[in-house]
């Protein structure tokens, strides 16, 4: 069983993927940035002992009020650092129209990118690839 942290700004957008994962894996599905930050924090790890094997992050979760260029800059300058606290593979989901701007950042910082809309099969394949060196994916 894989422990997955899933941060999404709109419950409906990625809920189908989350529900598909839940029968076989432990999924913490969060829809607000503050809760996601807490789950990534060293304090949470200390108090709960919970560690995630995979983090799935929707690009729209953090800094929703900022302009697009600012949010893209913040992804590289701030958000990536928060996500890296998980010490696990990271998959960033964003609209396909943003791929040329976000995918190079993901590659630079060692994250995987999933373009929305996506098929469940493609998302599951990317998760398996992200966890390839882990022993817990079926």
Q: How confident is the model at residue 11 (pLDDT cuts 50, 70, 90)?
A: low
Task: Report yes or no: 32 and 81 within 8 Å, Cβ to Cβ.
Answer: no
Higher pLDDT, 133 or 114: 114
Residue 5's DSSP bridge partners are: 28, 55
Write down the H helix ranges in the chain.
Answer: 11-21, 33-40, 42-48, 68-74, 80-84, 99-109, 120-130
pLDDT attached to residue 138? 41
3-130 CATH pick, 3.40.50.11540, 3.40.50.2300, 3.40.640.10, 3.40.50.720: 3.40.50.2300
Backbone φ and ψ for 67, nearest 5 degrees, come out as: -70, 165
Tokens, residue 7: 């941060």
Please write the tens of the pLDDT for every residue from 35-87: 999 999 999 888 888 899 999 999 989 888 889 999 999 999 999 999 999 99
| Assessment of whether the complete model's pTM goes beyond 0.95 | no
């Amino acid at each position: 069983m894989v422990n997955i942290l899933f941060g999404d700004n709109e419950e409906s957008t990625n809920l189908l993927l989350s529900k598909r994962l839940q029968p076989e894996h432990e999924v913490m599905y969060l829809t607000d940035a503050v809760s996601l930050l807490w789950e990534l924090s060293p304090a949470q790890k200390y108090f709960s002992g919970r560690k995630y094997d995979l983090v799935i992050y929707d690009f729209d979760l953090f800094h929703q009020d900022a302009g697009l260029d600012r949010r893209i800059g913040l992804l590289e300058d701030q958000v990536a650092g928060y996500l890296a606290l998980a010490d696990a593979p990271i998959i960033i989901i964003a609209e396909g129209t943003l791929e040329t701007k976000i995918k190079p950042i993901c590659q630079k910082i060692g994250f995987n990118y999933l373009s929305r809309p996506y098929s469940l099969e493609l998302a599951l394949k990317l998760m398996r690839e992200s966890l390839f060196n882990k022993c817990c994916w079926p």
